[in-house]
Amino acid sequence: MSLRLAVLGSGSGSNCQSIFNAIDDGRLDAEVVIVLSDHADAYILERARQRGVRAEVMDCGGFKNKFPLECQESVAALLKELKVDMVCLAGFMRLVKEPLLRAFPNRILNIHPALLPAFPGVEAWKQALEAGAETTGCTVHYVDAGMDTGEIIMQSHVPVMPDDTAQSLHARIQVQEHILYPAAILSAVARL
C-alpha cells in the first residue's frame, strides 16, 4: 500500500517538488494527499494545485512565527482524518510542538540546509559561510520539540568553495536536498 504523505511548507516548495518527482519516477511509493502552508501566497500551494493535490492555508492566528497550539491541533485532526502516514516539513518555518508530535510520533521529518547539529535555525548556509566552514550540506531528521534537534536520518555533504556567495552555496545545497529528501523518506518508512 502506498504511503500517504502530508507536506507542510512556507515558501516555494522545491523540496515538495522533489518528492513529487520521486513519486513520478517510481523512487518513492507514496501519494501526497495534502499540502499545507502558513502563507497564502506560498508557491508550494500552486505546485500542489497544478498536480491536483489538495492545498490549504493554515490559520496561525495572525502570528508571524509562532505555530499556535490550536492551529497544530486542527492540523493534526485534519491529517488524522486524511489517514496520513508521515508528515514532511519542506521549508516550514515554524516550530512543531506537542499536538502534532503526539499525533505523529517519529513520523514527522524535516530537511535542513546544514550538517546538523552545526548551524541550526534560519539561513544555515549563511551561518556556514560566516563561520568559515570548509564543508556544509543538508540533513533530514525526525522532528522533536527543539529547533533542528531531532534524530538524524541522513545527511549529504557539500564543499564550501573559496568564491562561494550565500546564493551559490545555497543553490548547491538545494541540489543535494532534492536528492536526499526522497531517499530519507524511504529510510524512515523502513523503520515504521
Active site residues: 112
Residue whose C-alpha is closest to residue 83's, from 11, 168, 183, 1: 1
Q: Report the relative pairing of strands 135-142 and 108-112 from DSSP bridges.
A: antiparallel
DSSP state of 176: H
User: What are the cell numbers at 22?
Assistant: 520521486
CB 136 within 8 A of CB 164: no
- Residues 6 or more apart whose CB falls under 8 angstroms from that of 56 comprise 34, 35, 36, 37, 45
